[in-house]
């Protein structure tokens, strides 16, 4: 079950990274912001693949979640929002950032739970 969930996460976040890579050239949102979220989803795809191949300690999931929370705090404080940044639109990638953050954090919790069943501690 751990391997199946991990491979699903790898495919899901690889496709998300690919779609974000296409958004860099096709939307008016900031290139730096898009690169940050593309790096985060790529890292989570690699983390999911690693979880499929190896049983990871629970500390690895805590470190990944802490890194994701740190990334979102850097995004909040380093790159200011414009007035219409939170209004959903196809051209405004910043409006989807809370959803990206919650999806990534939820996926880390699912992986941690599935992985915990395989850990004999």
| Cα three-residue angle 92-104-75, rounded to 5 degrees | 50
Question: Which sequence spans correspond to the domains of the chain?
Answer: 2-116
User: For residue 40, is pLDDT > 90?
Assistant: no
CB 111 within 8 A of CB 119: no
Report, as an integer, the average pLDDT of 62-77.
Answer: 82
Q: 65-92 burial, b for 16+ CB within 10 Å, e for fewer?
A: eeebeebbeebeeeeeeeeebeeeeeeb
pTM, two decimals, is 0.76
Q: What is the pLDDT of residue 32?
A: 72
Q: Is pLDDT at 105 greater than 80 in this prediction?
A: yes
Distance CA 52, CA 37 (A): 23
User: In the structure, what pLDDT confidence band is assigned to residue 49 with cuts at 50, 70 and 90?
Assistant: very high
């Amino acid at each position: 079950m751990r391997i199946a969930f991990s491979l699903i996460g790898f495919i899901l976040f690889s496709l998300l990274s690919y779609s974000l890579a296409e958004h860099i050239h096709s939307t008016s949102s900031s290139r730096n912001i898009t690169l940050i979220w593309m790096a985060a989803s790529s890292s989570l795809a690699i983390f999911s693949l690693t979880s499929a191949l190896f049983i990871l300690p629970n500390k690895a999931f805590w470190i990944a979640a802490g890194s994701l929370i740190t990334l979102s705090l850097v995004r909040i404080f380093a790159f200011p929002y414009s007035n219409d940044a939170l209004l959903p639109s196809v051209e405004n990638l910043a409006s989807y950032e809370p959803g990206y953050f919650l999806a990534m954090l939820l996926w880390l919790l699912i992986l941690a739970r599935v992985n915990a069943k395989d850990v004999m501690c």
